[in-house]
């Protein structure tokens, strides 16, 4: 039986110019930053409260913020040093002010005692890991995942331990590891698949032990043939052919969105307002799986992240970065801005958020820093051509969101299922009239949520 | 230009902030309009071939007045004038639907009406309810009905016009067998509006639009199929009914106008069926020999209603059924 299954997209998607310039560049370690800024909200859900005061000495990996709320994950010090300031920063996604802790590094990177499990030196010793994982109860592993502050690293930053604890009435039969990375430019997951593959598979093994699904799929777009081949060999080497299957998918945007991925692989549709677990599925990002391994076996908290720095920088790179490092350090490490870049995007070009200043730090959900020349948007009237309808992977009518949100008739947006929109941006990408449909969708969702 | 620059934290370096997505396919409204003009060059070429210099003059006057009217009205409304090609499309389409002997000043009036009343008075491109070119033609046929129904046989590049009826009118007669009748209809060697006579060249233009996915096949296919079916039921010559008159140019170039036709696939089928049925009714039971123009205008009026009630099923709406199905499959 073959490990690799090939499938074609089951939704209308977009073929985008990929521009993955950094796909063949090995991950480089960014030198320790002098100063880190850590926003106290790095996950969907509750805000964390600071556990440290100004002047406190902290060690790398020490917990510095936590919350008692269920949907939350603690935050750890990414460097050792002194808490120098408590400030407020603007969260670019929500434009709200959130508390942040600033730590000035002492340059020693002195770690707290991790309590690493005995017997395991590296992720290569898969048999050892299996032995350990099999002996651990699921609840304890979940606790370790929470303690390490693991959140979904695909961008949504949903606390992983919550995702892996479905309510008992929901039977989970399928686990999907999402390595699609369908956004142009970004290559961080691709590099994680190639360079941290043992950790990814070990993490996947841990997750599958926790939720015990019938099927485990690793979904990868076929523009990453090297990653597919590498994982296939590794799975065979580890003797996991009967457990894990790789699904090779044609690269079409937005393949990596949970809902389209589930539709393509399983032909199931997540109900409107529902979660993948409503159709018996859990989807995890590849970098999350690696973080789960580090949390459970190495007891190492999530304090670093692989980030692609690309676009109009002199030397685009994939970097392993400590959380809290200012974006400017990453850009400078890549040789600075080249050309006429006037747009700084956190994330990919389709769903990324443009930010105004380079002081903003890397957070847990950051996977790409993209610099590019911004385009002038001259919005014209909708000519009802229907291209947005054809492009929409959710089978919605995006033109209606723009039409009604423009006139603040948000209740009509609801009639066209605005809540079902995943904001992938395919509609605005194809719109001949250059209408910023996603802007209208965000305004509509925001207004409706306030009612 | 290409100076690399380092940035340091806390400097005044600021970036533009805009909504995602930050890339654009770049296929703009004006590109769509100019592609339509490109496809229209085939029926336009046929019009010039069959009706000579006067066709050229009519087209020039119609397009020029359309663009100038749009420019003037945008200035009056204090809006930005964008040369997006939509006015040129309207002017060209209007010219193609006019009889080859119409005085040029009438063409100008029709063109001004199309842009000023049917398009700009409603708010400009995207806001109009009726197809501007067809509205202009309808206006002219109400105002100048005799000039709008004076037909000549193709003159080529000579100035000797021979009167001849449009194939659909009662006075039409044809010397020869059926095959040569079909042939002359197909190639366009017959009386009628300038751009409607040559089925062949209309099909070439339509083929370009369909192949480049600029228009959806649903409206023209259902439209023509319903006209064929209706004519068959009423015992008419099906091939003749489909090829004669303005059906071809109407189905491919007028009824497919994005702004004035439904936006969903189902809606477009309703539109095509409705327009087809109305055309058959007007042709066979109405006072006029031809019904394409008014049937499309009537369906334009229904379009907002169709768009209000035809909605798509979004992803995840019938999910309960899907879950049930998958559970049944498992057990």
pTM for the full model? 0.90
Q: Which two tokens stand for residue A213?
A: 């699904």
Instruction: Establish if A74 belongs to a structural domain.
Output: no
User: What is the distance between the alpha carbons of residues A209 and A232, in angstroms, rounded to a whole number?
Assistant: 20
Q: How far is B323 from chain A (nearest CA, A)?
A: 7
pLDDT > 70: percent of chain A: 98
| A282/A405 same-domain check | no
Q: A280 CB contacts (<8 Å, ≥6 apart)?
A: A170, A171, A172, A173, A174, A268
The answer to whether residues B118 and B130 touch, using CB atoms and an 8 Å cutoff, is yes
- How many alpha carbons lie under 13 Å from residue A103 in its C-beta half-sphere? 36
A298-319 pLDDT, tens digit per residue, is 899 999 999 999 999 999 999 9
pLDDT of residue B317: 83
Contact call for residues A423 and A441 (beta carbons, < 8 A): yes
For residue A425, tell me if it sits in a domain.
yes
Domain limit, last residue, from A259, A278, A296: A296
Query: pLDDT value at position B330?
Result: 52
Report how far residue A217's alpha carbon sits from residue A235's, in angstroms, rounded to the nearest whole number.
Answer: 12
In this structure, the answer to whether residues A288 and A407 fall within a common structural domain is no
pLDDT tens digits, A381-419: 999 999 999 999 999 999 999 999 999 999 999 989 998
Structure tokens at A368: 């790409």
E-state strands within A16-90: 27-29, 35-39, 49-50, 57-58, 63-66, 75-76, 81-90
| B7–A344 CB contact, under 8 Å | no
- At B1 the pLDDT is 33
What is the full DSSP assignment across A433-449?
A: T---HHHHHHHHHHHHH
How many structural domains comprise chain A?
2
pLDDT of res. A1 = 55
pLDDT of residue B154: 82
Please give the Cα distance from A124 to A196 (Å, whole number).
10
Q: Are B120 and B78 in contact (CB under 8 A)?
A: no
Q: Judge whether A42 lies within some domain.
A: no
Angle at CA A424, nearest 5°, toward B259 and A188?
Answer: 150
Asked which of A265, A280, A296 is the last residue of a domain, the reply is: A296
Whose tokens are 């910023």? That residue is: A436
Task: Note whether A169 and A282 are same-domain residues.
Answer: yes
B29-309 CATH, one of 1.10.260, 1.10.3470, 3.40.50, 1.10.3430: 1.10.3430
Among A211, A214, A216, A219, smallest CA distance to A161 is for A211
Residue B169 contacts A, CB cutoff 8 Å = no
Q: Within an 8 Å CB–CB cutoff, is residue A349 touching chain B?
A: yes
Closest CA to B110 of B52, B57, B66, B151: B66
A412 three-class SS: helix
Same domain as A391, residue A288: no
Neighbouring residues of B321: CB distance < 8 A, sequence distance ≥ 6: none
Alpha-carbon distance of A252 to B30, in angstroms, equals 27
SS3 A103: strand
Where residue A76 falls among pLDDT bands split at 50, 70, 90? very high
Report the alpha-carbon distance of residue A67 to residue A147 in Å, rounded: 11
Q: Count of alpha carbons within 13 Å of A295, Cβ hemisphere only?
A: 32
pLDDT for position A191: 96
Chain B residue numbers touching A432 (CB-CB < 8 A): 27-29, 31-32
Residues A420, A283 share a domain: no
Residues A135 and A264 in one domain: yes
> What whole-number distance in Å separates Cα of residue A257 and Cα of residue A178?
9
Q: Does A329 touch chain B (CB under 8 A)?
A: yes
CB A145 within 8 A of CB A163: no
> Is the Cβ–Cβ distance between A393 and A430 less than 8 Å?
no
pLDDT at B13: 59
Dig out the tokens for A9 from the structure: 């997209």
pLDDT of residue B321: 55
Give the angle B266-B268-B274 at the CA atoms, nearest 5°: 105
Tokens of A357: 């200043």
Answer yes or no: do A401 and A273 share one domain: no
Residue B327: per-residue pLDDT: 56
Shortest Cα distance from A229 to chain B (angstroms)? 31
Residues contacting A310, CB < 8 A, separation 6+: A19, A21, A22, A185, A186, A187, A316, A317, A368, A369, A370, A371
How does strand A215-221 pair with strand A353-355?
A: unpaired
Q: Which of A251, A273, A296 is the last residue of a domain?
A: A296
Nearest by CB to residue B29, choosing from A339, A380, A439, is A380
Shared domain check, A275 and A404 = no
* Domain residue extents for chain B: 29-309
Per the CB < 8 Å rule, is A433 touching B9?
Answer: no
Output the domain CATH number for residue A134: 3.40.50.11540
Per-residue confidence (pLDDT) for residue B161, from 0 to 100: 67
User: What tens-digit pLDDT sequence spans chain B (331 residues)?
Assistant: 334 455 544 444 578 888 889 999 989 999 999 999 999 999 999 999 999 889 999 999 999 999 999 999 999 999 888 888 999 999 999 999 999 889 999 999 999 999 999 999 999 999 999 999 999 999 999 999 888 888 888 877 776 667 777 777 766 777 778 888 888 889 888 888 888 889 999 999 999 999 999 999 999 999 999 999 999 999 999 999 999 889 999 999 999 999 999 999 999 999 999 999 999 999 999 888 888 999 999 999 999 999 999 988 898 886 455 555 555 655 5
Residue A169 within a domain: yes
* Count of other CB atoms within 10 angstroms of residue A44: 16
Q: Show the DSSP H helices in B146-291 as ranges.
A: 178-187, 199-211, 218-233, 238-243, 247-249, 265-285
Residue A396 lies in a domain: yes
Q: Is residue A341 part of a domain?
A: no
For residue A57, being part of any structural domain is answered with no
Q: Is the pLDDT of residue A230 over 70?
A: yes
CB contact under 8 A, B27 and A352: no
Chain B residues inside the 8 Å CB shell of A423: 20
In a domain, A357, yes or no: no
* CB-count exposure of residue A138 (10 Å: 0-12, 13-18, 19+): middle
- As a whole number of angstroms, the distance between CA A429 and CA A284 comes to 27
Nearest chain B CA: its distance from A364 CA (Å): 20
ipTM value, please give it: 0.87
**B46: helix, coil or strand?**
helix
Q: Please indicate, yes or no, whether residues A126 and A260 belong to a single structural domain of this protein.
A: yes
| Nearest C-alpha neighbor of A158 from the set A79, A253, A44 | A44
Q: Rounded to whole angstroms, how far apart are CA atoms A63 and A152? A: 19
Assess whether pLDDT exceeds 70 at residue A253.
yes
For chain B, the 3-state helix, strand and coil shares in percent, each to the nearest 5, are 60, 0, 40
**Residues of chain B contacting residue A17, judged by C-beta atoms under 8 Å apart:** 23
With CA atoms as reference, report the closest residue to B219 among A215, A238, A407, B227: B227
Say how far apart CA A20 and CA A317 lie, in whole Å. Answer: 11
What is the total residue count of chain B?
331
Q: Do B318 and A269 touch (CB under 8 A)?
A: yes
Range of the domain at A264: 4-23+117-296
The answer to whether the Cβ–Cβ distance between B21 and A428 falls below 8 Å is yes
Phi, psi of A324 (to 5 degrees): 95, -10
What percent of the residues of chain A are helix, what percent strand, and what percent coil, each to the nearest 5?
A: 30, 20, 45
Interface mutation target, options B6, B315, B318, B326, chain A, most CBs of A under 10 Å: B315
Residues of chain A numbered 245-264 and touching chain B (CB < 8 Å): 259, 263
Q: Is B126 on the interface with A (CB under 8 A)?
A: yes
Could A259 and B315 be called an inter-chain contact, meaning their C-beta atoms sit closer than 8 Å?
yes
């Amino acid at each position: 039986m073959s490990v690799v299954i090939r499938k074609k997209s089951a939704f209308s998607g977009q073929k985008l110019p990929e521009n993955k310039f950094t796909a063949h560049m090995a991950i480089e370690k960014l030198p320790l930053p002098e100063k880190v800024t850590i926003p106290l909200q790095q996950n969907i859900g509750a805000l964390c409260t600071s556990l440290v005061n100004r002047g406190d000495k902290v060690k790398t990996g020490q917990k510095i913020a936590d919350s008692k709320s269920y949907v939350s994950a603690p935050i750890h010090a990414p460097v050792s040093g002194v808490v120098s300031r408590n400030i407020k920063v603007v969260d670019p996604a929500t434009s709200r002010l959130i508390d942040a802790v600033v730590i000035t590094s002492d340059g020693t990177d002195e770690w707290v005692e991790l309590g690493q499990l005995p017997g395991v030196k590296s992720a290569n010793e898969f048999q050892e890991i299996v032995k350990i994982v099999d002996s651990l109860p699921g609840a304890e592993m979940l606790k370790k995942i929470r303690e390490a502050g693991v959140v979904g690293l695909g961008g949504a930053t949903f606390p992983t331990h919550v995702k892996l604890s479905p309510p008992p009435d929901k039977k989970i039969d399928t686990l999907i590891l999402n390595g699609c990375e369908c956004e142009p430019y970004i290559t961080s997951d691709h590099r994680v698949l190639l360079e941290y593959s043992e950790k990814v598979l070990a993490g996947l093994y841990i997750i599958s032990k926790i939720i015990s699904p019938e099927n485990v799929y690793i979904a990868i777009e076929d523009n990453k043939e090297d990653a597919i081949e590498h994982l296939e060999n590794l799975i065979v080497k580890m003797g996991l052919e009967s457990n894990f299957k790789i699904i090779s998918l044609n690269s079409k945007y937005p393949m990596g969105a949970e809902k389209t991925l589930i539709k393509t692989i399983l032909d199931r549709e997540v109900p409107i307002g529902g979660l993948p677990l409503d159709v018996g599925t859990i989807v995890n990002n590849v970098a999350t799986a690696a973080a789960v391994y580090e949390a459970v076996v190495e007891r190492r908290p999530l304090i670093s992240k692989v980030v692609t720095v690309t676009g109009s920088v002199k030397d685009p790179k994939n970097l392993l970065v400590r959380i809290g490092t200012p974006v400017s350090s990453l850009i400078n490490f890549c040789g600075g801005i080249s050309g006429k870049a006037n747009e700084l995007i956190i994330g990919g070009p389709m769903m990324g958020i443009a930010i105004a200043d380079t002081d903003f730090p890397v957070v847990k959900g950051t996977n790409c820093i993209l610099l590019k020349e911004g385009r002038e948007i001259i919005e014209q009237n909708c000519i009802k051509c229907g291209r947005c309808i054809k492009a929409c992977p959710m089978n919605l009518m995006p033109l209606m969101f723009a039409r009604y949100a423009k006139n603040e008739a948000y209740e009509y947006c609801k009639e066209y299922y605005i809540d079902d929109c995943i904001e992938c941006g395919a509609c605005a990408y194809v719109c001949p009239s250059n209408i910023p449909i996603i802007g209208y969708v965000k305004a509509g969702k925001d207004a409706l949520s306030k009612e | 230009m290409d100076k690399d620059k380092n940035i340091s934290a806390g400097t005044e370096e600021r970036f533009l902030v805009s909504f995602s997505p930050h890339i654009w396919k770049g296929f703009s409204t004006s590109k769509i309009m100019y592609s339509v003009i490109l496809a229209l060059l085939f029926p336009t070429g046929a019009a010039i071939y069959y009706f000579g210099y006067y066709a050229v003059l009519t087209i020039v006057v119609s397009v020029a007045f359309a663009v100038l009217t749009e420019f003037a009205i945008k200035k009056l409304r204090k809006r930005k004038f964008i040369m997006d090609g939509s006015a040129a499309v309207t002017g060209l389409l209007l010219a193609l639907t006019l009889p080859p002997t119409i005085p040029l000043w009438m063409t100008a009036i029709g063109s001004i009406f199309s842009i000023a009343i049917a398009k700009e008075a409603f708010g400009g491109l995207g806001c109009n309810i009726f197809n501007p070119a067809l509205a202009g033609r309808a206006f002219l046929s109400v105002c100048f009905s005799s000039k709008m129904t004076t037909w000549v046989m193709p003159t080529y590049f000579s100035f000797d016009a021979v009167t001849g009826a449009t194939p659909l009118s009662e006075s039409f007669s044809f010397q020869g067998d059926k095959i040569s009748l079909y042939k002359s209809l197909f190639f366009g060697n017959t009386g009628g509006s300038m751009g409607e006579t040559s089925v062949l060249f209309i099909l070439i233009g339509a083929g370009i639009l369909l192949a480049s996915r600029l228009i959806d096949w649903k409206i023209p296919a259902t439209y023509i199929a319903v006209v064929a079916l209706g004519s068959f039921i009423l015992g008419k010559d099906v091939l003749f009914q489909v090829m004669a008159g303005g059906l071809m140019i109407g189905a491919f170039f007028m009824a497919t106008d994005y702004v004035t036709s439904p936006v969903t696939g189902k809606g477009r089928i309703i539109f095509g069926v409705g327009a087809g049925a109305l055309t058959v009714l007007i042709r066979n039971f109405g006072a006029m020999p031809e019904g394409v123009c008014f049937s499309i205008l009537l369906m334009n009026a229904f379009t907002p209603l169709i768009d209000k009630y035809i909605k798509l099923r979004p992803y995840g709406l019938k999910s309960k059924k899907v879950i049930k199905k998958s559970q049944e499959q498992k057990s």
